[in-house]
Structure 1
Amino acid sequence: MPLAAALLLTASCSEAQSDKSKSGKNKTAKSASKSGPQKGGDRRKDKAAAAEITGLQRVGSLKGVVPESSGLAPGSTAQSYYSFGDGGNSATLYEISGAGKLVRTLEIGEPNNDWESLSRDPQGNYYIGNCGNNESTRRNLSIYRVRLDNPQQAGKINFSYPDQTEFPPNKKARNFDCEATLWNEGKVWLFTKDRGQSSTSNVYTVPEQPGTYTAKKVTSLAIPGQVTDAALRPDGHRLVLLGRGELFILDGNTWADILKATPRQVSLEGAGQTEGAVFKDSNTLLISTEQGELYEYTFAQ
Protein backbone atom coordinates (compact mmCIF):
# COMPACT_ATOMS: atom_id res chain seq x y z
CA MET A 1 0.00 0.00 0.00
CA PRO A 2 1.41 3.47 -0.81
CA LEU A 3 2.57 5.46 2.20
CA ALA A 4 0.05 8.25 1.67
CA ALA A 5 -2.80 5.75 1.69
CA ALA A 6 -1.45 4.04 4.78
CA LEU A 7 -1.30 7.32 6.60
CA LEU A 8 -4.84 8.20 5.70
CA LEU A 9 -6.04 5.00 7.35
CA THR A 10 -4.78 6.26 10.73
CA ALA A 11 -7.55 8.79 11.26
CA SER A 12 -8.90 7.04 14.34
CA CYS A 13 -7.28 7.95 17.62
CA SER A 14 -5.61 5.53 20.00
CA GLU A 15 -5.68 5.52 23.77
CA ALA A 16 -2.44 6.65 25.44
CA GLN A 17 -0.88 4.37 27.96
CA SER A 18 1.38 5.56 30.75
CA ASP A 19 4.79 4.37 31.87
CA LYS A 20 5.42 3.81 35.54
CA SER A 21 8.59 4.85 37.29
CA LYS A 22 10.87 2.22 38.79
CA SER A 23 9.61 3.21 42.23
CA GLY A 24 6.25 1.76 41.17
CA LYS A 25 4.37 5.05 41.40
CA ASN A 26 2.28 6.02 38.42
CA LYS A 27 3.55 9.48 37.61
CA THR A 28 0.93 10.08 34.94
CA ALA A 29 -2.36 9.80 36.78
CA LYS A 30 -2.94 13.40 35.74
CA SER A 31 -1.48 15.10 32.73
CA ALA A 32 0.96 17.75 33.91
CA SER A 33 0.13 19.81 30.86
CA LYS A 34 -3.52 20.24 31.75
CA SER A 35 -2.89 21.41 35.29
CA GLY A 36 0.11 23.24 33.98
CA PRO A 37 3.52 23.29 35.24
CA GLN A 38 3.11 26.96 35.88
CA LYS A 39 5.70 29.69 35.98
CA GLY A 40 6.66 30.45 39.53
CA GLY A 41 5.56 28.00 42.18
CA ASP A 42 7.90 26.34 44.63
CA ARG A 43 10.98 25.68 42.50
CA ARG A 44 12.69 23.80 45.32
CA LYS A 45 9.89 21.25 45.35
CA ASP A 46 9.89 21.18 41.55
CA LYS A 47 13.62 20.48 41.40
CA ALA A 48 13.30 17.79 44.05
CA ALA A 49 10.51 16.14 42.04
CA ALA A 50 12.53 16.38 38.82
CA ALA A 51 15.56 14.81 40.51
CA GLU A 52 13.47 11.71 41.29
CA ILE A 53 12.48 11.06 37.67
CA THR A 54 14.23 7.96 36.40
CA GLY A 55 16.38 8.80 33.38
CA LEU A 56 16.23 12.59 33.77
CA GLN A 57 19.37 14.59 34.54
CA ARG A 58 19.95 18.33 34.60
CA VAL A 59 22.99 19.07 32.43
CA GLY A 60 23.10 22.84 32.10
CA SER A 61 21.34 26.16 31.93
CA LEU A 62 20.25 28.57 29.21
CA LYS A 63 19.63 31.44 31.60
CA GLY A 64 21.19 34.60 30.23
CA VAL A 65 21.83 32.80 26.92
CA VAL A 66 18.48 31.97 25.28
CA PRO A 67 15.40 33.92 26.42
CA GLU A 68 12.42 31.57 26.89
CA SER A 69 13.85 28.65 24.91
CA SER A 70 11.05 27.19 22.81
CA GLY A 71 12.75 24.58 20.63
CA LEU A 72 15.92 22.62 19.84
CA ALA A 73 17.57 21.23 16.71
CA PRO A 74 20.97 19.78 15.75
CA GLY A 75 23.75 22.37 15.45
CA SER A 76 26.71 22.77 13.12
CA THR A 77 28.66 20.03 14.93
CA ALA A 78 27.73 16.80 16.70
CA GLN A 79 28.28 18.57 20.03
CA SER A 80 26.15 21.66 19.41
CA TYR A 81 22.47 22.55 19.06
CA TYR A 82 20.31 25.46 17.95
CA SER A 83 17.63 27.08 20.07
CA PHE A 84 15.62 30.32 19.94
CA GLY A 85 13.34 32.51 22.01
CA ASP A 86 9.55 32.29 22.08
CA GLY A 87 7.31 34.79 20.29
CA GLY A 88 8.10 38.39 21.18
CA ASN A 89 11.84 37.74 21.27
CA SER A 90 14.30 38.59 18.51
CA ALA A 91 14.56 36.67 15.23
CA THR A 92 17.74 34.96 16.42
CA LEU A 93 19.03 31.40 16.46
CA TYR A 94 21.44 30.61 19.28
CA GLU A 95 24.00 27.86 18.77
CA ILE A 96 24.75 26.29 22.14
CA SER A 97 26.78 23.45 23.60
CA GLY A 98 25.13 20.47 25.27
CA ALA A 99 25.58 22.28 28.59
CA GLY A 100 23.99 25.49 27.36
CA LYS A 101 27.13 27.54 26.66
CA LEU A 102 26.75 30.03 23.81
CA VAL A 103 28.70 29.19 20.65
CA ARG A 104 27.34 31.89 18.31
CA THR A 105 24.19 33.74 17.29
CA LEU A 106 22.59 34.00 13.85
CA GLU A 107 20.12 36.71 12.87
CA ILE A 108 17.33 35.40 10.62
CA GLY A 109 15.89 37.63 7.91
CA GLU A 110 12.23 37.10 8.85
CA PRO A 111 10.28 38.22 11.95
CA ASN A 112 9.60 36.14 15.04
CA ASN A 113 5.81 36.44 15.12
CA ASP A 114 5.62 33.32 17.27
CA TRP A 115 8.47 30.88 16.66
CA GLU A 116 7.81 27.53 18.28
CA SER A 117 9.87 24.78 16.62
CA LEU A 118 12.98 24.02 14.61
CA SER A 119 14.12 21.02 12.56
CA ARG A 120 16.67 20.15 9.89
CA ASP A 121 16.66 18.05 6.72
CA PRO A 122 19.61 15.91 5.48
CA GLN A 123 20.64 18.64 3.02
CA GLY A 124 21.24 21.16 5.83
CA ASN A 125 18.07 23.23 5.40
CA TYR A 126 16.50 24.37 8.66
CA TYR A 127 12.75 24.82 9.11
CA ILE A 128 11.61 27.38 11.67
CA GLY A 129 7.99 26.93 12.72
CA ASN A 130 6.57 30.46 12.84
CA CYS A 131 3.18 28.97 13.59
CA GLY A 132 2.39 29.54 17.26
CA ASN A 133 -1.30 30.45 17.37
CA ASN A 134 -2.49 30.59 20.98
CA GLU A 135 -5.95 32.00 20.27
CA SER A 136 -6.37 30.39 16.80
CA THR A 137 -6.65 33.85 15.21
CA ARG A 138 -3.58 34.02 12.97
CA ARG A 139 -3.88 34.20 9.19
CA ASN A 140 -0.13 34.56 8.55
CA LEU A 141 1.10 31.12 9.61
CA SER A 142 4.40 30.13 8.05
CA ILE A 143 7.51 28.00 8.22
CA TYR A 144 10.82 29.55 7.27
CA ARG A 145 13.26 27.46 5.24
CA VAL A 146 16.78 28.71 5.93
CA ARG A 147 20.33 27.73 5.12
CA LEU A 148 22.47 28.94 7.98
CA ASP A 149 25.36 29.94 5.73
CA ASN A 150 22.97 32.66 4.48
CA PRO A 151 20.50 33.23 7.35
CA GLN A 152 19.19 36.53 6.01
CA GLN A 153 17.75 34.78 2.95
CA ALA A 154 14.78 32.79 4.20
CA GLY A 155 12.16 31.08 2.05
CA LYS A 156 8.59 31.13 3.34
CA ILE A 157 6.22 28.18 3.41
CA ASN A 158 2.91 29.98 4.01
CA PHE A 159 0.00 27.78 4.99
CA SER A 160 -3.55 27.64 6.30
CA TYR A 161 -5.53 24.80 7.86
CA PRO A 162 -8.14 23.13 5.65
CA ASP A 163 -10.59 22.70 8.54
CA GLN A 164 -10.41 26.18 10.08
CA THR A 165 -13.22 28.47 8.95
CA GLU A 166 -13.51 30.79 11.96
CA PHE A 167 -10.84 33.09 13.44
CA PRO A 168 -11.10 32.27 16.25
CA PRO A 169 -13.35 29.21 16.49
CA ASN A 170 -15.23 28.60 19.74
CA LYS A 171 -12.99 27.69 22.65
CA LYS A 172 -13.80 23.97 22.52
CA ALA A 173 -12.56 23.82 18.91
CA ARG A 174 -9.28 25.71 19.31
CA ASN A 175 -6.86 23.14 17.96
CA PHE A 176 -4.94 25.27 15.45
CA ASP A 177 -1.95 26.18 17.61
CA CYS A 178 1.19 24.37 16.44
CA GLU A 179 4.33 24.30 18.57
CA ALA A 180 5.77 21.07 17.14
CA THR A 181 7.00 20.61 13.58
CA LEU A 182 9.61 18.39 11.98
CA TRP A 183 10.94 17.55 8.55
CA ASN A 184 10.52 13.95 7.41
CA GLU A 185 10.31 12.20 4.05
CA GLY A 186 10.30 15.39 1.99
CA LYS A 187 7.57 17.16 3.95
CA VAL A 188 7.18 19.31 7.02
CA TRP A 189 4.91 17.68 9.59
CA LEU A 190 2.84 19.72 12.03
CA PHE A 191 1.48 18.44 15.36
CA THR A 192 -1.09 20.70 16.97
CA LYS A 193 -1.33 21.74 20.60
CA ASP A 194 -4.95 21.19 21.60
CA ARG A 195 -6.29 24.23 23.44
CA GLY A 196 -9.85 22.92 23.26
CA GLN A 197 -11.21 19.90 25.07
CA SER A 198 -10.57 16.91 22.82
CA SER A 199 -7.08 15.84 24.03
CA THR A 200 -6.13 15.42 20.38
CA SER A 201 -3.03 16.41 18.44
CA ASN A 202 -3.96 16.79 14.79
CA VAL A 203 -1.25 15.94 12.27
CA TYR A 204 -0.85 17.94 9.04
CA THR A 205 1.77 18.19 6.30
CA VAL A 206 2.98 20.97 4.04
CA PRO A 207 5.54 20.72 1.22
CA GLU A 208 9.18 21.46 2.02
CA GLN A 209 9.45 24.02 -0.78
CA PRO A 210 8.59 27.72 -0.22
CA GLY A 211 5.15 28.68 -1.48
CA THR A 212 1.58 29.16 -0.28
CA TYR A 213 -0.38 26.04 0.62
CA THR A 214 -3.40 24.57 2.32
CA ALA A 215 -2.01 22.06 4.79
CA LYS A 216 -3.07 18.42 4.35
CA LYS A 217 -4.64 16.78 7.39
CA VAL A 218 -3.25 13.27 7.75
CA THR A 219 -4.48 11.90 11.08
CA SER A 220 -5.26 12.67 14.72
CA LEU A 221 -3.40 11.32 17.75
CA ALA A 222 -4.94 10.76 21.17
CA ILE A 223 -2.55 12.82 23.30
CA PRO A 224 -3.81 13.73 26.80
CA GLY A 225 -1.58 16.80 26.97
CA GLN A 226 -0.49 19.89 25.08
CA VAL A 227 2.26 19.16 22.56
CA THR A 228 5.17 21.64 22.65
CA ASP A 229 7.79 20.01 20.40
CA ALA A 230 8.55 16.94 18.28
CA ALA A 231 11.74 14.95 17.76
CA LEU A 232 12.44 11.95 15.53
CA ARG A 233 15.15 9.47 16.44
CA PRO A 234 17.94 9.32 13.82
CA ASP A 235 16.93 5.81 12.71
CA GLY A 236 13.36 7.02 12.14
CA HIS A 237 11.81 4.40 14.42
CA ARG A 238 10.81 6.59 17.39
CA LEU A 239 8.83 9.82 17.51
CA VAL A 240 8.78 11.81 20.72
CA LEU A 241 6.13 14.46 21.26
CA LEU A 242 7.12 16.71 24.14
CA GLY A 243 4.39 18.10 26.37
CA ARG A 244 4.43 20.62 29.18
CA GLY A 245 6.08 18.45 31.81
CA GLU A 246 5.73 15.11 29.99
CA LEU A 247 6.77 12.98 27.04
CA PHE A 248 4.70 10.93 24.61
CA ILE A 249 6.66 8.17 22.86
CA LEU A 250 5.50 6.49 19.64
CA ASP A 251 7.51 3.61 18.15
CA GLY A 252 7.26 1.82 14.83
CA ASN A 253 9.26 0.22 12.03
CA THR A 254 7.93 2.77 9.54
CA TRP A 255 6.59 6.31 9.73
CA ALA A 256 3.10 4.99 8.97
CA ASP A 257 3.43 2.53 11.88
CA ILE A 258 4.57 5.30 14.21
CA LEU A 259 1.46 7.36 13.45
CA LYS A 260 -0.70 4.35 14.34
CA ALA A 261 1.20 3.49 17.54
CA THR A 262 -0.22 3.77 21.05
CA PRO A 263 1.67 6.60 22.77
CA ARG A 264 3.57 5.79 25.94
CA GLN A 265 3.39 8.64 28.42
CA VAL A 266 6.27 9.61 30.73
CA SER A 267 5.93 12.27 33.40
CA LEU A 268 8.55 15.00 33.72
CA GLU A 269 6.69 16.63 36.59
CA GLY A 270 8.85 19.25 38.27
CA ALA A 271 11.13 19.83 35.28
CA GLY A 272 9.34 23.06 34.37
CA GLN A 273 7.65 24.19 31.17
CA THR A 274 9.39 21.81 28.78
CA GLU A 275 9.42 23.34 25.29
CA GLY A 276 12.34 21.99 23.24
CA ALA A 277 13.53 18.46 22.41
CA VAL A 278 16.17 16.93 20.14
CA PHE A 279 17.84 13.53 20.05
CA LYS A 280 21.50 13.62 21.08
CA ASP A 281 21.86 9.97 20.11
CA SER A 282 19.52 7.02 19.68
CA ASN A 283 18.91 6.69 23.42
CA THR A 284 19.22 10.25 24.76
CA LEU A 285 16.97 13.27 24.42
CA LEU A 286 18.09 16.84 25.15
CA ILE A 287 15.25 18.94 26.60
CA SER A 288 15.04 22.68 27.22
CA THR A 289 12.54 24.59 29.34
CA GLU A 290 11.15 28.08 29.03
CA GLN A 291 12.61 28.80 32.47
CA GLY A 292 16.11 28.12 31.12
CA GLU A 293 16.88 24.61 32.36
CA LEU A 294 18.58 22.02 30.18
CA TYR A 295 18.05 18.30 30.78
CA GLU A 296 18.99 14.97 29.30
CA TYR A 297 16.48 12.14 29.32
CA THR A 298 17.79 8.59 28.83
CA PHE A 299 15.25 6.07 27.56
CA ALA A 300 14.89 2.85 29.52
CA GLN A 301 13.96 0.99 26.34
Structure 2
Amino acid sequence: MRFIPFLSVVAALFFTASCSEAQSDKSKSSKTKTAKSAGKDGPKKGGDRRKDKAAAAAITGLERVGSLKGVVPESSGLAPGSTSQSYYSFGDGGNSPILYEISETGKLVRSIDIGAQNNDWESLSRDTEGNYYIGNCGNNESTRRNLSIYRVRLDNPQQVGLINFSYPDQTEFPPSKKERNFDCEASLWQGGNVWLFTKDRGQSSTSNVYAVPDHPGTYTAKKVASLAIPGQVTDAALRPDGQRLVLLGRGELFILDGASWADILKAKPRQVSLEGAGQTEGAVFKDNNTLLISTEQGELYEYTLPN
Protein backbone atom coordinates (compact mmCIF):
# COMPACT_ATOMS: atom_id res chain seq x y z
CA MET A 1 0.00 0.00 0.00
CA ARG A 2 2.94 2.30 0.57
CA PHE A 3 3.76 2.20 -3.16
CA ILE A 4 0.36 3.37 -4.37
CA PRO A 5 0.92 7.13 -3.81
CA PHE A 6 4.33 6.90 -5.47
CA LEU A 7 2.87 5.05 -8.49
CA SER A 8 0.07 7.62 -8.72
CA VAL A 9 2.61 10.45 -8.85
CA VAL A 10 4.60 8.65 -11.56
CA ALA A 11 1.43 8.07 -13.58
CA ALA A 12 0.42 11.72 -13.24
CA LEU A 13 3.85 12.90 -14.33
CA PHE A 14 3.79 10.55 -17.32
CA PHE A 15 0.31 11.77 -18.32
CA THR A 16 1.36 15.43 -18.03
CA ALA A 17 4.48 14.85 -20.11
CA SER A 18 2.47 13.03 -22.78
CA CYS A 19 -0.02 15.88 -22.98
CA SER A 20 2.76 18.46 -23.19
CA GLU A 21 4.43 16.54 -25.99
CA ALA A 22 1.12 16.21 -27.88
CA GLN A 23 0.42 19.92 -27.48
CA SER A 24 3.93 20.76 -28.64
CA ASP A 25 3.53 18.55 -31.72
CA LYS A 26 0.13 20.13 -32.39
CA SER A 27 1.66 23.59 -32.07
CA LYS A 28 4.47 22.67 -34.44
CA SER A 29 1.97 21.24 -36.91
CA SER A 30 -0.12 24.41 -36.68
CA LYS A 31 2.92 26.61 -37.27
CA THR A 32 3.94 24.48 -40.25
CA LYS A 33 0.47 24.80 -41.76
CA THR A 34 0.49 28.55 -41.18
CA ALA A 35 3.91 28.90 -42.83
CA LYS A 36 2.78 26.86 -45.82
CA SER A 37 -0.40 28.88 -46.12
CA ALA A 38 1.51 32.16 -45.94
CA GLY A 39 3.88 30.95 -48.62
CA LYS A 40 1.19 30.28 -51.22
CA ASP A 41 1.86 33.55 -53.02
CA GLY A 42 5.09 34.31 -51.24
CA PRO A 43 5.35 36.52 -48.17
CA LYS A 44 3.32 39.68 -48.50
CA LYS A 45 5.08 41.91 -46.04
CA GLY A 46 7.58 39.70 -44.26
CA GLY A 47 11.15 38.73 -44.98
CA ASP A 48 14.37 40.25 -43.76
CA ARG A 49 13.97 43.90 -44.78
CA ARG A 50 17.66 44.63 -44.24
CA LYS A 51 18.63 41.89 -46.68
CA ASP A 52 15.86 42.98 -49.06
CA LYS A 53 17.07 46.59 -49.02
CA ALA A 54 20.62 45.48 -49.67
CA ALA A 55 19.44 43.31 -52.56
CA ALA A 56 17.33 46.14 -54.00
CA ALA A 57 20.25 48.58 -53.73
CA ALA A 58 22.36 46.17 -55.77
CA ILE A 59 19.93 46.10 -58.72
CA THR A 60 21.39 48.04 -61.64
CA GLY A 61 19.09 50.88 -62.65
CA LEU A 62 16.84 50.74 -59.56
CA GLU A 63 16.71 53.71 -57.20
CA ARG A 64 14.42 54.35 -54.24
CA VAL A 65 12.95 57.83 -54.73
CA GLY A 66 10.29 58.10 -52.05
CA SER A 67 7.63 56.50 -49.90
CA LEU A 68 3.86 56.10 -49.98
CA LYS A 69 3.62 55.09 -46.33
CA GLY A 70 0.81 57.02 -44.66
CA VAL A 71 -0.27 58.31 -48.09
CA VAL A 72 -1.58 55.35 -50.12
CA PRO A 73 -2.71 52.22 -48.23
CA GLU A 74 -1.35 49.11 -49.99
CA SER A 75 -0.59 50.74 -53.34
CA SER A 76 -1.75 48.38 -56.08
CA GLY A 77 -1.21 50.38 -59.27
CA LEU A 78 0.01 53.58 -60.92
CA ALA A 79 -1.15 55.77 -63.81
CA PRO A 80 -0.29 59.23 -65.20
CA GLY A 81 -1.58 62.15 -63.12
CA SER A 82 -2.96 65.59 -63.95
CA THR A 83 0.55 66.90 -64.74
CA SER A 84 3.74 65.36 -66.14
CA GLN A 85 5.17 65.36 -62.60
CA SER A 86 2.29 63.59 -60.85
CA TYR A 87 0.72 60.13 -60.80
CA TYR A 88 -2.38 58.39 -59.48
CA SER A 89 -2.39 55.39 -57.19
CA PHE A 90 -4.96 53.59 -55.03
CA GLY A 91 -5.39 50.90 -52.40
CA ASP A 92 -6.52 47.42 -53.40
CA GLY A 93 -9.56 45.46 -52.17
CA GLY A 94 -10.82 46.42 -48.72
CA ASN A 95 -9.64 50.02 -49.02
CA SER A 96 -11.69 53.14 -49.76
CA PRO A 97 -12.72 53.98 -53.37
CA ILE A 98 -10.19 56.81 -53.62
CA LEU A 99 -7.58 57.78 -56.18
CA TYR A 100 -4.54 59.48 -54.65
CA GLU A 101 -2.61 61.93 -56.77
CA ILE A 102 1.04 61.85 -55.72
CA SER A 103 4.28 63.57 -56.66
CA GLU A 104 7.28 61.76 -58.12
CA THR A 105 8.54 61.18 -54.57
CA GLY A 106 5.24 60.06 -53.07
CA LYS A 107 3.97 63.32 -51.58
CA LEU A 108 0.18 63.63 -51.56
CA VAL A 109 -1.19 66.19 -54.03
CA ARG A 110 -4.91 65.45 -53.57
CA SER A 111 -7.42 62.67 -52.92
CA ILE A 112 -10.36 62.01 -55.24
CA ASP A 113 -13.42 60.07 -54.08
CA ILE A 114 -14.77 57.84 -56.83
CA GLY A 115 -18.50 57.13 -56.96
CA ALA A 116 -18.17 53.34 -57.13
CA GLN A 117 -17.34 50.38 -54.90
CA ASN A 118 -13.85 49.04 -54.36
CA ASN A 119 -14.64 45.32 -54.50
CA ASP A 120 -11.04 44.61 -55.47
CA TRP A 121 -9.35 47.40 -57.42
CA GLU A 122 -6.12 46.18 -58.98
CA SER A 123 -5.19 48.40 -61.96
CA LEU A 124 -5.53 51.86 -63.46
CA SER A 125 -4.90 53.32 -66.91
CA ARG A 126 -5.79 56.38 -69.02
CA ASP A 127 -6.84 56.85 -72.63
CA THR A 128 -5.93 59.68 -75.01
CA GLU A 129 -9.17 61.55 -74.18
CA GLY A 130 -8.51 61.78 -70.44
CA ASN A 131 -10.80 58.93 -69.33
CA TYR A 132 -9.46 56.68 -66.60
CA TYR A 133 -10.16 52.96 -66.37
CA ILE A 134 -10.14 51.32 -62.94
CA GLY A 135 -9.83 47.55 -63.03
CA ASN A 136 -12.30 46.32 -60.39
CA CYS A 137 -11.46 42.75 -61.35
CA GLY A 138 -9.24 41.24 -58.68
CA ASN A 139 -10.38 37.62 -58.40
CA ASN A 140 -7.99 35.67 -56.18
CA GLU A 141 -10.00 32.45 -56.04
CA SER A 142 -11.64 32.77 -59.48
CA THR A 143 -15.10 32.92 -57.86
CA ARG A 144 -16.34 36.40 -58.84
CA ARG A 145 -19.22 36.90 -61.27
CA ASN A 146 -19.32 40.70 -60.90
CA LEU A 147 -16.09 41.61 -62.70
CA SER A 148 -16.01 45.18 -63.98
CA ILE A 149 -13.98 48.13 -65.15
CA TYR A 150 -14.95 51.65 -64.14
CA ARG A 151 -14.64 54.43 -66.71
CA VAL A 152 -14.42 57.84 -65.08
CA ARG A 153 -13.33 61.40 -65.78
CA LEU A 154 -11.67 62.92 -62.76
CA ASP A 155 -13.32 66.32 -63.25
CA ASN A 156 -16.59 64.49 -62.44
CA PRO A 157 -15.54 61.50 -60.33
CA GLN A 158 -19.02 60.65 -59.03
CA GLN A 159 -20.26 59.84 -62.52
CA VAL A 160 -18.87 56.40 -63.31
CA GLY A 161 -19.46 54.32 -66.43
CA LEU A 162 -19.66 50.58 -65.79
CA ILE A 163 -18.01 48.07 -68.12
CA ASN A 164 -19.15 44.62 -66.96
CA PHE A 165 -17.42 41.57 -68.36
CA SER A 166 -17.00 37.83 -68.07
CA TYR A 167 -14.38 35.43 -69.39
CA PRO A 168 -15.42 33.29 -72.37
CA ASP A 169 -13.49 30.26 -71.12
CA GLN A 170 -14.58 30.23 -67.47
CA THR A 171 -17.44 27.84 -66.80
CA GLU A 172 -16.78 26.94 -63.14
CA PHE A 173 -16.73 29.27 -60.11
CA PRO A 174 -14.20 28.33 -58.95
CA PRO A 175 -12.46 25.98 -61.37
CA SER A 176 -9.97 23.43 -60.04
CA LYS A 177 -6.91 24.96 -58.41
CA LYS A 178 -4.64 24.16 -61.36
CA GLU A 179 -7.06 25.98 -63.70
CA ARG A 180 -7.35 29.24 -61.71
CA ASN A 181 -6.19 31.79 -64.25
CA PHE A 182 -9.04 34.31 -64.04
CA ASP A 183 -7.53 36.81 -61.61
CA CYS A 184 -6.65 40.11 -63.30
CA GLU A 185 -4.39 42.63 -61.55
CA ALA A 186 -3.03 44.25 -64.72
CA SER A 187 -4.88 46.16 -67.42
CA LEU A 188 -4.33 49.07 -69.77
CA TRP A 189 -6.13 51.05 -72.44
CA GLN A 190 -4.98 50.72 -76.02
CA GLY A 191 -6.73 51.42 -79.32
CA GLY A 192 -10.34 51.53 -78.13
CA ASN A 193 -10.09 48.51 -75.83
CA VAL A 194 -9.16 47.77 -72.26
CA TRP A 195 -6.65 44.92 -72.28
CA LEU A 196 -6.60 42.48 -69.39
CA PHE A 197 -3.57 40.40 -68.36
CA THR A 198 -4.32 37.55 -65.98
CA LYS A 199 -2.32 36.58 -62.93
CA ASP A 200 -1.93 32.81 -63.16
CA ARG A 201 -2.75 31.19 -59.82
CA GLY A 202 -2.85 27.73 -61.39
CA GLN A 203 -0.01 25.74 -62.89
CA SER A 204 0.39 26.93 -66.47
CA SER A 205 2.85 29.85 -66.02
CA THR A 206 0.71 31.76 -68.52
CA SER A 207 -0.76 35.24 -68.55
CA ASN A 208 -3.84 35.20 -70.77
CA VAL A 209 -4.68 38.41 -72.62
CA TYR A 210 -8.30 39.51 -73.10
CA ALA A 211 -9.87 42.63 -74.60
CA VAL A 212 -13.13 44.42 -73.81
CA PRO A 213 -14.51 47.61 -75.45
CA ASP A 214 -13.70 50.84 -73.62
CA HIS A 215 -17.29 52.10 -73.34
CA PRO A 216 -19.95 51.12 -70.78
CA GLY A 217 -21.89 47.92 -71.37
CA THR A 218 -21.89 44.22 -70.58
CA TYR A 219 -19.46 42.07 -72.54
CA THR A 220 -17.89 38.69 -72.92
CA ALA A 221 -14.18 39.47 -73.06
CA LYS A 222 -12.34 38.38 -76.20
CA LYS A 223 -9.34 36.12 -75.59
CA VAL A 224 -6.53 37.41 -77.78
CA ALA A 225 -3.27 35.77 -76.68
CA SER A 226 -1.48 33.68 -74.07
CA LEU A 227 1.93 34.89 -72.89
CA ALA A 228 4.58 32.59 -71.42
CA ILE A 229 5.13 34.39 -68.12
CA PRO A 230 6.88 32.38 -65.36
CA GLY A 231 5.50 34.65 -62.65
CA GLN A 232 2.34 36.35 -61.41
CA VAL A 233 1.50 39.59 -63.23
CA THR A 234 0.56 42.51 -60.96
CA ASP A 235 0.50 45.51 -63.35
CA ALA A 236 1.00 46.54 -66.97
CA ALA A 237 2.47 49.65 -68.56
CA LEU A 238 2.86 50.64 -72.22
CA ARG A 239 5.72 52.90 -73.30
CA PRO A 240 4.59 56.29 -74.69
CA ASP A 241 5.75 55.36 -78.20
CA GLY A 242 3.66 52.18 -78.03
CA GLN A 243 6.57 49.85 -78.83
CA ARG A 244 7.31 48.33 -75.42
CA LEU A 245 5.03 46.62 -72.94
CA VAL A 246 6.16 45.98 -69.38
CA LEU A 247 4.34 43.44 -67.24
CA LEU A 248 5.23 43.79 -63.58
CA GLY A 249 5.41 40.76 -61.29
CA ARG A 250 6.28 40.24 -57.64
CA GLY A 251 9.91 41.27 -57.45
CA GLU A 252 10.38 40.98 -61.22
CA LEU A 253 9.23 42.35 -64.52
CA PHE A 254 8.79 41.12 -68.09
CA ILE A 255 9.58 43.18 -71.19
CA LEU A 256 7.89 42.67 -74.57
CA ASP A 257 9.01 44.74 -77.58
CA GLY A 258 7.43 45.16 -80.98
CA ALA A 259 6.84 47.65 -83.78
CA SER A 260 3.07 47.37 -83.23
CA TRP A 261 0.64 46.23 -80.55
CA ALA A 262 0.04 43.02 -82.48
CA ASP A 263 3.79 42.38 -82.63
CA ILE A 264 4.16 43.03 -78.89
CA LEU A 265 1.56 40.38 -78.08
CA LYS A 266 3.56 37.86 -80.13
CA ALA A 267 6.94 38.78 -78.61
CA LYS A 268 8.93 36.55 -76.30
CA PRO A 269 9.01 38.14 -72.81
CA ARG A 270 12.39 39.08 -71.33
CA GLN A 271 12.53 38.54 -67.58
CA VAL A 272 14.28 41.02 -65.26
CA SER A 273 14.76 40.34 -61.54
CA LEU A 274 13.85 43.00 -58.99
CA GLU A 275 14.40 40.66 -56.05
CA GLY A 276 14.50 42.57 -52.79
CA ALA A 277 12.37 45.47 -54.02
CA GLY A 278 9.33 44.12 -52.16
CA GLN A 279 5.83 43.24 -53.37
CA THR A 280 5.92 45.30 -56.56
CA GLU A 281 2.34 46.14 -57.58
CA GLY A 282 2.31 49.36 -59.62
CA ALA A 283 4.21 50.54 -62.70
CA VAL A 284 3.96 53.53 -65.04
CA PHE A 285 6.33 54.97 -67.63
CA LYS A 286 7.86 58.33 -66.71
CA ASP A 287 9.52 58.48 -70.12
CA ASN A 288 10.58 56.00 -72.77
CA ASN A 289 13.41 54.64 -70.61
CA THR A 290 12.20 54.98 -67.02
CA LEU A 291 9.53 53.32 -64.91
CA LEU A 292 8.05 54.51 -61.63
CA ILE A 293 7.30 51.43 -59.49
CA SER A 294 5.31 51.20 -56.26
CA THR A 295 5.13 48.38 -53.74
CA GLU A 296 2.34 47.31 -51.42
CA GLN A 297 4.71 47.98 -48.50
CA GLY A 298 4.85 51.66 -49.55
CA GLU A 299 8.20 51.95 -51.33
CA LEU A 300 8.52 54.06 -54.48
CA TYR A 301 11.29 53.33 -57.00
CA GLU A 302 12.56 54.58 -60.33
CA TYR A 303 13.88 51.94 -62.67
CA THR A 304 15.93 52.58 -65.79
CA LEU A 305 15.02 49.88 -68.27
CA PRO A 306 17.66 47.91 -70.18
CA ASN A 307 17.78 48.32 -73.96
Cα distance in 2 for partners of 1:37, 1:50 equals 16
Q: 1:196 aligns with which of 199, 202, 208?
A: 202
1:1-301 residue pairs with structure 2 within 5 A?
36=42, 38-301=44-307
Alpha-carbon distance in 1 for matches of 2:300, 2:43: 16
Runs of 4+ with deviation above 6 angstroms: none
Deviations 1:209-237 (A, max 9, x none): 00000000001000000000000000000
Residue of structure 2 in register with 1:9 after alignment: none
Per-residue deviation, 1:239: 0.1
TM-score with structure 2 length normalisation?
0.86
Larger radius of gyration: 2
Decide whether the 8 Å contact of 1:37 with 1:272 is kept in 2: no
Query: Displacement, 1:171?
Result: 0.1
Aligned residues: 269
- Note the residue ranges of structure 1 that are not aligned, 5 or more in a row: 1-32
The offset of 1:299, in angstroms, is 1.3
CA contact (8 A) 1:283 1:299 kept: yes
Provide the C-alpha distance between the structure 1 equivalents of 2:205 and 2:106, rounded to a whole number of angstroms. 33
Amino acid paired to 1:84? F
Q: CA deviation at 1:39?
A: 1.5
Higher relative contact order, structure no. (Cα contacts within 8 Å, ≥ 6 residues apart): 1
1:23-65 deviations in Å (ceiling 9; x for gaps): xxxxxxxxxx987354211100000000000010000000000
Q: CA deviation at 1:300?
A: 2.5
Distance 2:42 2:61 in 1: 22
Give the counterpart letter for 2:83 in structure 1. Answer: T
Deviations, residues 132-170 of structure 1 (Å, cap 9, x unaligned): 000000000000000000000000000000000000000
What are the ranges of 5 or more consecutive residues in structure 2 without an aligned counterpart? 1-38
Letter in 2 for 1:299: L
TM-score by length of 1: 0.88
SS at match of 2:198: strand
Q: Secondary structure at the residue paired with 1:49? A: helix
C-alpha RMSD of matched pairs (Å) = 1.1
What amino acid does structure 2 have at the position aligned with 1:265? Q
- Would you tell me which structure has more helix in proportion to its own residues? 2
Counterpart AA for 2:210: Y
Task: Report the identity percentage.
Answer: 86
